[in-house]
């Protein structure tokens, strides 16, 4: 299957947002474990969610320091998370994620 870099980048962002919103992986280490992507790719993908108007915020854990907390999706913008859930198998196959 020959897929463009644009499509894989788009699907990667959708999948990361879905992982965060579903509670499956809402930290950089958890995203790395769930997808096998390197730390920098996970961090860049989180930063790029805003390009799709997905509002992703870091929620600091009360009373903790040094980035203890998790990411949360506050608003999906024009993206339909139900479409992602319905197409999860295809998205993961295109990205070659477990």
CATH number where 15 lies: 1.10.10.10
Please give the span between the terminal C-alpha atoms of the chain, in angstroms, as a whole number: 17
Q: What is the pLDDT of residues 29-68, one digit of tens each?
A: 999 999 999 999 999 999 999 999 999 999 987 776 666 7
pLDDT for the residue numbered 37: 95
pLDDT for the residue numbered 60: 87
The pTM score is 0.92
pLDDT for the residue numbered 1: 63
* 32, 39 contact by CB (below 8 A): yes
Q: Which domain holds residue 61?
A: 5-95
- Rounded Cα gap, residues 20 and 11, in angstroms: 14
* 70, 59 contact by CB (below 8 A): yes
* 34, 80 contact by CB (below 8 A): no
Domain count, the chain: 1
Mean pLDDT, residues 57-84: 89
């Amino acid at each position: 299957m020959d897929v463009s870099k644009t499509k894989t980048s788009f699907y990667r962002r959708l999948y990361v947002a879905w992982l965060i919103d579903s509670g499956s992986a809402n930290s950089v280490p958890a995203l790395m474990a769930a997808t096998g992507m390197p730390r920098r790719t996970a961090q860049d993908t989180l930063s790029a969610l805003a390009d799709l108007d997905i509002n992703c915020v870091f929620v600091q854990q009360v009373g903790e320091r040094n980035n203890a907390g998790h990411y949360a999706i506050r608003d999906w913008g024009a993206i339909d998370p139900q479409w992602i859930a319905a197409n999860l198998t295809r998205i993961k196959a295109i990205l070659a994620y477990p």
